[in-house]
Chains A and B, each alone.
Chain A
Amino acid sequence: MHLTTLILSSSLILVIAILIYPLLTTLNPNPQDQKWAITHVKTSVKAAFLMSLLPLMIFLDQGTETIITNWHWMNTAPFDINISFKFDHYSIIFTPIALYVTWSILEFASWYMHSDPLMNRFFKYLLLFLVAMILLVSANNMFQLFIGWEGVGIMSFLLIGWWYGRADANTAALQAVLYNRVGDIGLIMAMAWLAMNLNSWEIQQIFFLSKNFDMTLPLIGLILAATGKSAQFGLHPWLPSAMEGPTPVSALLHSSTMVVAGIFLLIRLHPLMENNNIALTTCLCLGALTTLFTAACALTQNDIKKIVAFSTSSQLGLMMVTIGLNQPQLAFLHICTHAFFKAMLFLCSGSIIHSLNDEQDIRKMGGLQNLMPMTSTCLTIGSLALTGTPFLAGFFSKDAIIEALNTSHLNAWALILTLIATSFTAVYSFRVVYFVTMGTPRFLPLSPINENNPSVINPIKRLAWGSIIAGLIITSSFLPSKTPIMSMPLTLKLAALLVTIIGLLTALELTAMTNKQFKITPTIPPHHFSNMLGYFPAIIHRLTPKLNLSLGQSIATQLIDQTWFEATGPKGVSSLQVKMAKTVSDAQQGMIKTYLTIFLLTTTIAILLATI
């Protein structure tokens, strides 16, 4: 076998094997030692990352992609299911990035969860999640993808509800599972359609056969699945609620890896969508609506983790818009760059939260620039990368997306929404940086502010380096498959930057007004709309269950118990009969013998007459 493919395939399988090995060591009945999390899990992820750089370099050098089919798992008569890994452009690039981010998060988690007695289990759950995610991105058939999909959903549930003694955490975990389940309906519908009509779950066969079919129905199913998993509008409330989990969970699952699974599904199956305008328009408008709505909600939140969660949701909307623009590679680029700075923002938040003795409200932080210089610097770097500051990581993906949006001949409404959301990004990012790092301290004097632990500093520094140079490295290494439009008017070219600067200037003006009374009475309705998340959870989580439960109760009590059983059913029949029997039996006098004797006489005469 050719040396290149041999190295590629064996190193990729080795990556997965290295990740699975610590999970297997937990299967023996002897308890692990205290340091198992650090010695086994973190080193295995680090080793897997270093190992996965080899396929990345081979792909960079020679453009080799590989499909590894290991095992024919099961079949019904015409339908086969194999275990099959597809390492193409997307999964070869995503795997090292995911492993790099996970390595940093695990190192951070060894500090963050230090006082937790079940830290080994926490790391095991994170590793299990990572394995499921790698399975998802490397799946070559829908069944394996579904296994990874469900795996990340279940691990999300277990990790969000890590502090299960807290009722809010249990509610949030349940919310995550239910909203993901609604999305799963779409995925299962798409899989069922594919199995029935194309008779295959292998991606190559699906691409080949889909030319002859009208793919609208499975595409709507896939978009629904992406809506659930990637928190698009309509199925979005679980993502801010998922901040109940520990910060490493938020950093890994709900910023870099799990929530991009929905977008990744659409990127993977993009050839099905290229020519279907209904699906593309749905993605475009849904993504635009999501990005604006969640950015608007982020403007008035006071919990630092919730602001970052909403910014994740907003960026996911932007990725959905990119898919609607028929640019899957740009969406993938944004996934990769977004992983770095979003994970870093979460890690900085975690460092701040722990240092201020578990304080998460930004109104009670302030002045941390001098007290936690490294963390606040990286927070600023992450925020700048998020807003698309030129030549940081976010710029390459975000600016490219907005340029593509500007020069496309598609929906102008989606464009306007996206631009407004981009300006909001600048506003809430500045709000976070202002409240956390600037001004005078608003926290208690004896806060245990200490960022001197290398387990905290090194991960954040690594991710900071990633946030700065990742965009440049990725764009300069890989050719785009669709030619970007290079010539456009100057205002369109600078549109993203202009809008961001306008947002930043507006935010600066607003902060200068905090000690002046511009209006006697504040404008309450927009603030309340934004702070209550658009009233979406308040309506949907209260009204719909209440209506359903009261409908169920009226069916059970009034329809079945009172109507069918009592008025028309058994009891109704018996009450009717009793009334009739009483009326009739009043007329009788009870001379049974007389009646029966006459009856006998009549019958005997009738029989005798009939026979003679």
Chain B
Amino acid sequence: MTPVHFSFCSAFILGLMGLTFHRTHLLSALLCLEGMMLSLFIALALWTLQFEMTGFSAAPMLLLAFSACEASAGLALLVATARTHGTDRLQNLNLLQC
């Protein structure tokens, strides 16, 4: 694997591990999600440059737009959680199961 390939793969996997093994705050999971998106963005941009497919140049922008939507959805969920449960701490989420 080329060094570039290795760097964004590892960035992706690290972000995924951060999403998986989050312990206290929901917000940190969302931040790791953003990191995953960032690595994917770099991957798409490098794909375009590497294979010299100029028609594919818009793909990173598309990914950015959709990731913004998803981030806002995640933040909305965060705010909703904070509204209903008081904090975004994860141990609060199953304290009172209704």
Contacts and interface: CB of A to CB of B under 8 A. Distances in A.
A308 to B, nearest CB: 75
Given A603-B13, A604-B13, A611 B20 contact: no
A597 B13 CA distance: 12
A596 B19 contact: yes
A607 B20 contact: no
A590 B91 CA distance: 13
Contacts, number: 26
Nearest to A607: B9
Contact of A597 (B5, B9, B20): B20
Main secondary structure of the interface of B (DSSP, over half): helix
A213 interface: no
Interface in B1-55: 1, 5, 9, 12-13, 16-17, 19-21
A600 interface: yes
Interface string A252-287: 000000000000000000000000000000000000
Contacts of A599: 16, 20
A603 B21 CA distance: 15
A597 B17 CA distance: 8
B94 A600 contact: no
A593 interface: yes
Main secondary structure of the interface of A (DSSP, over half): helix
A603 B5 contact: no
Contacts of A603: 13, 16
Contact of A590 (B17, B21, B94): B94
A590 B95 CA distance: 13
Interface residues of A, number: 11
Interface residues of B, number: 11
Nearest to A597: B20
Given A590-B94, A593-B21, A611 B16 contact: no
Nearest to B13: A604
Interface in A554-612: 590, 593, 596-597, 599-600, 603-604, 607, 611-612
A341 B16 CA distance: 101
Contacts of B13: 600, 603-604, 607
Nearest to B97: A590
A607 B12 contact: yes
A408 to B, nearest CB: 78
Nearest to B23: A593
Contacts of B1: 611-612
Given A590-B94, A611-B1, A600 B9 contact: no
A463 B9 CA distance: 107
Nearest to A604: B13
A295 to B, nearest CB: 75
B9 A593 contact: no
Given A590-B94, A600-B16, A603-B13, A611 B5 contact: yes
A412 B66 CA distance: 79
A607 B17 CA distance: 14
A132 B9 CA distance: 86
Nearest to B5: A611
A603 to B, nearest CB: 6
Contacts of A607: 9, 12-13
Nearest to A611: B1
Contacts of B19: 596, 600
Contacts of B9: 607, 611
B66 to A, nearest CB: 18
Nearest to A590: B94
Best-buried of B9, B20, B21 by chain A (most CB within 10 Å)? B20
A577 to B, nearest CB: 12
Nearest to A612: B1
Nearest to A596: B20
Listed from nearest, the 6 A-B pairs whose CB atoms lie closest are A596-B20, A600-B20, A611-B1, A600-B16, A597-B20, A607-B9
Given A593-B20, A604-B13, 9 more contacts: A597-B20, A597-B21, A599-B16, A600-B19, A607-B9, A607-B12, A611-B5, A611-B9, A612-B1
13 contacts: A593-B20, A593-B21, A596-B19, A597-B21, A599-B20, A600-B16, A600-B17, A600-B20, A604-B13, A607-B12, A611-B1, A611-B5, A612-B1
